[in-house]
Amino acid sequence: MSFSKQQLQKFAHLIRIEISDEKLEKMKIDSVIEWLDKLQKIDTTGVEPMLSPVQHSLLRRTDVVTDKNIRDLLLKNAPDETGKRAGYFAVPKVMDE
Amino acid sequence: MYTIKGKTGDWELVIGLETHIEVTSNSKLFSGASADYNPSVPANTQASFVDAAMPGMLPVLNEYCVEQAIRMGLGLNAEISKRSKFARKQYFYPDLPQGYQISQPAEEPPIVGRGWVEITDDDGNPKKILIERAHLEQDAGKLKHDAHPTKSMADYNRTGVALLEIVTFLDTKNPENNSYITSPDEAEKYLRQIREIARSLGVSNANMEEGSMRADVNVSVRRVGAAEFGTRTETKNMVSFKFIKTAIEYEARRQIEIIENGGTVSQDTMHYNQDSGTTTVMRSKEDALDYRYFPDPDLLPLIIEDDLIERIRATLPELPSVRRARYMSELGLSEYDAARLTESVQISNWFESAVGDKLVRAKPIANWMISELFAHPENFVLDESIQRDESIRIIAPSDLAELVDMISENEINGKMAKDIFVKMLDGETGSPKQIADKFGLKQMSDTGAIVSAVDDVIAKNASQVEQYKSGKVGLIGFFVGQVMKATGGAANPEVVNKILKEKLG
């Protein structure tokens, strides 16, 4: 299987990566896809997909509030001062949904 | 059956609902921040580093939210999956700093599998609505768009609060079972049923006005009797029963018009406009989001032991629908009374506590509660934890039980019971019996005294007696009234009636 430049650009957009066509070419994505094709051909009938090599069971916590108000710490890295002063993360205006 | 008349014939509706209810818990689904996101809490004061998706932060599952999901699942008569997974659903929007929502994968069994709820259809018959699944996922934050001309303000207090998404099932293989929603009214009844179950189990407040219950509505149309299902559209984020019903009807009519004009319905995502009651395309099928679900590498599969399921099942309260049926079949209450007395778990508990093991009390207690007590909520404590004015005389279940017993044992008549009730409302302390003693409210059942009062009334009203004997039997009420008056309201009206009839022949 191989992908057109257009398809690859679409995938890049899906994960919000900006990449030039030139660079895309250099990356030789096709060789990765080829390798994935090989993996796809392995017969895995009856094999339960492994989510993690770790054999632990899922950690759970009790329903207790352990995190208090840490707004100032949270907002420390927020780039927008206007939002920060009001206690918010300010982002460029979005209106859809 | 609900149908819509088109230019070329009649159409039926097929409706699917994805209902999100906010799970009641102290902390969030994967973090230790408080899950109380109500609007009075200042922005971002209840968001942790996990909620804000700071690098290196890891989600840890809240076991209580899992229990809540199981509880709701049992309330929906559903299978609980012994093993389910968490997946990342990718989308980029500033209300979700992670860049993905932790949810449960669409193709695999989520925590709650196939179930059903029962509603009454538009013809008044019981109808089972099948549920495909219910899964746990994170809620998103809130954005404020009006605070700044060029910026939106993100508040992550709600980010990561547990949601349970309940999805109805369209059984395309067995359409003859008619086990899906087919009208706007049925959609409302289904949602009310979900709400009632969630509330009575303490799983969620499920309040649409407060945003703790929201629904996405799938609608398609087909000609009455058609075998194939039509193409559906999805209208997102509906927050009131009324809007949902309007949107379903509008959307169905829009689709019918398209088909009747020779077009085809496209599987689009719609936006509902509250002001005009119309839907418009928000996202076409071609632009549908690619969520790229994949297993969340931070979370292992969720294994649920039978033990836990059985422990929760054992603590499940009787659901209101079951209670209603029992009130009607065992206690002989009317459908209306049964509905009023199951409006909340607290009301049902109050009622049952007053009835106790004397089932004959049920009907009179129901009457007193519905026609008198409900009008005085301040005297009627349903929730002991709510602060109340100490000066108010609270009417307890035992008070009403005693009052009702006094009537059935002929100690007082209905009029006296009402007097005692009003005295309690006015702050009179002491039990109904004590109040009756204090004010000398005692029904006269001494036949001798009643007989002499009756004789007296008959002697004084010769002309009425004449009329009665000549056929105006309606006058009996007049005589009863006179005797009651003569005895100061203390006589037993039944006894008076009986004696009068004997005397008047």
Domains of chain B: 4-307 (no CATH), 318-438 (no CATH), 447-504 (1.10.10.410)
Using alpha carbons, select from B340, B309, B311, B312 the residue that is nearest to residue B324: B340
Q: What is the pLDDT of residue B409?
A: 87
The per-residue pLDDT for A97 is 42
Best mutation target among A93, A95, A96 (most B Cβ atoms within 10 Å) is: A93
Please, how many CA atoms are within 13 Å of residue B399, restricted to the half-sphere of its CB? Answer: 26
Asked if the C-beta of A50 comes within 8 angstroms of chain B's C-beta atoms, the answer is: no
| B220 burial level (CB within 10 Å; 0-12, 13-18, 19+) | buried
Across the beta sheet with B151-155, what order do the strands follow? A89-92, B151-155, B142-144
Tokens of B381: 């404590």
B145 in A contact zone (CB under 8 Å): yes
Buried b (16+ CB within 10 A) or exposed e, B290-315: ebebebbeebbbbebeeeebeebeee
d(CA B401, CA B415): 17
Crossing angle of helices B462-469/B476-486, nearest 10°?
150
What are φ and ψ of residue B82, in 5° steps?
-75, -25
**Helical (H) or strand (E) element with B398:** helix B397-408
Strand order across the B87-90 sheet: B100-103, B87-90, B294-295
Cα separation, B464 vs B485, whole angstroms:
17
Q: Which of B32, B45, B299 sits opposite A71 (nearest CB)?
A: B45
Q: How many domains does chain A have?
A: 1
Q: What is the pLDDT of residue B386?
A: 66
As for the ipTM of the complex, it is 0.87
**Contact check, Cβ <8 Å, B32/A67:** yes
Q: Helix, strand or coil for residue A53?
A: coil
Q: What pLDDT does residue B442 have?
A: 83
Question: Rounded to a whole number, what is the distance in Å from the CA of A13 to chain B's nearest CA?
Answer: 11
**Token representation of residue B260:** 């009747």
Give tens-digit pLDDT for B46-68.
999 999 999 999 999 999 999 99
Backbone angles phi, psi at B80, to 5 degrees: -105, 130
- Does residue A76 belong to any structural domain of this protein? no
Helix (H, G, I), strand (E, B) or coil at B223: strand
Give me the pLDDT at residue B176, please: 78
Compute the nearest-CA separation of B60 from chain A (Å).
6
Please say if the pLDDT value at position A26 is more than 50.
yes
- pLDDT score at B470: 86
Query: What does pTM read for this prediction?
Result: 0.81
Higher local confidence (pLDDT), A89 or B483: A89
Q: Any chain B CB within 8 A of the CB of A67?
A: yes
**Residue-wise over B46-78: b if at least 16 C-beta within 10 A, else e?**
bbbbbbbbeeeeebbbbbbbbbbbbbbbbbbeb
Q: Which of residues 68-87 of A touch B (CB under 8 A)?
A: 69-71, 73-75, 80, 82-83, 86-87
| Residues of A in Cβ contact (< 8 Å) with B145 | 93-95
Q: Tell me the C-alpha distance between A51 and B298, whole Å.
A: 10
* Residue A50 lies inside a defined structural domain of this protein: no
The beta-carbon neighbor of B300 closest among A58, A82, A94 is A58
Contact B29, B67 (CB under 8 A): no
Can you tell me the distance from the alpha carbon of B222 to that of B232, in angstroms, rounded to the nearest whole number?
10
Decide if A67 is inside a domain.
Answer: no
- The predicted pLDDT at position B285 comes to 82
Residue A77 has pLDDT above 90, yes or no: no
Tell me the average confidence (pLDDT) per consecutive run of 10 residues in chain B, 505 residues long. Answer: 94 97 98 93 96 95 98 97 94 92 92 95 92 97 91 96 97 85 97 95 94 96 92 94 96 97 94 92 83 91 95 94 93 93 90 93 95 87 69 89 91 89 90 90 79 87 87 87 84 84 82
Residue A36, domain member (yes or no): yes
Rounded CA Rg of chain A: 22
- The per-residue pLDDT for B117 is 96
**Pairing state between β A60-61 and B61-62:** parallel
B262 secondary structure, DSSP code = T
A-chain residues near B161 (CB < 8 A): none
**Cα–Cα distance, B304 to B312 (Å, whole number):** 12
Among residues B252, B248, B249, which one has the least CA distance to residue B223? B252
Say if A29 falls within a structural domain.
yes
Domain span including residue A12: 5-40
Q: Which pLDDT belongs to residue B384?
A: 66
